[in-house]
Chain A
């Protein structure tokens, strides 16, 4: 097993520039069309049990 696979999971804190985080936080929460299409396709595959 590649050590990087472990590092990815053990480094639970990762560093991001404040300006980048602020940019993500500043985005509106409107539904994203591409994401909505993906979700619609996915929901069609879900078991009836869901």
Chain B
């Protein structure tokens, strides 16, 4: 079992990280800092204690879920998430643990500023099923093959599971 911690982006050199997906690597290497600086989102690093290396990252962004009669609910979007490519397929599986780290960080944000829902985007049916198993609800189906399925859960439900 690894021991790891979540840290802010600015404390680390990002060049050595690769998850194997060019877009997600490019995001971390070139976009995360400026977009975070503009206040559009915040990227967090998952750092292994033993090596002090980046083993994953995730980005959270403020958003609003709005219905057709204009009711708007402040929410948090888990916008990016990537695990180092060398750790894929490890046992225990680290991807879900990274997702849990993102959940916990989202809850900390919601504790400070509020928020009704956590939104996630799933690119594969396997990922959709993963979130459905944790009581997320599909709220947007993809309109094209390269679009994600968006799912929601109440932050209060998430909090209960962390407190239990």
Q: Residues on A close to B: CB < 8 A? A: 1-2, 4-5, 8-10, 12-18, 20-21, 23-25, 27, 29-32, 34-36, 38-39, 41-42, 44-50
B residues contacting the other copy or chain, number (CB 8 A): 62
With a CB–CB cut-off of 8 A, which chain A residues contact B8? none
Partner of A14, one of B66, B68, B134, B160: B66
Inter-chain contact total with CB atoms closer than 8 Å: 136
Q: Is the CB of A1 within 8 A of B31?
A: yes
Of all A-B residue pairs in the complex, the 8 with the closest CB atoms, nearest first, are A42-B100, A18-B67, A31-B164, A35-B161, A47-B5, A35-B134, A32-B135, A13-B64
Q: Is the contact region of chain B dominated by helix, strand, or loop, or is it mixed?
A: mixed
Which residues from 44 to 88 on chain B have a C-beta closer than 8 Å to any C-beta of chain A?
49, 59, 61-69, 71-73, 77, 79
Q: Is the CB of B35 within 8 A of A21?
A: no
With a CB–CB cut-off of 8 A, which chain B residues contact A18? 67-69, 71
Q: Is the CB of B23 within 8 A of A5?
A: yes
Q: Residues on B close to A: CB < 8 A? A: 1-5, 23, 26-27, 30-31, 35, 40-41, 49, 59, 61-69, 71-73, 77, 79, 92, 96-97, 99-101, 103-104, 116-117, 119, 121, 133-135, 137, 139-140, 146-147, 150, 152-154, 156-164
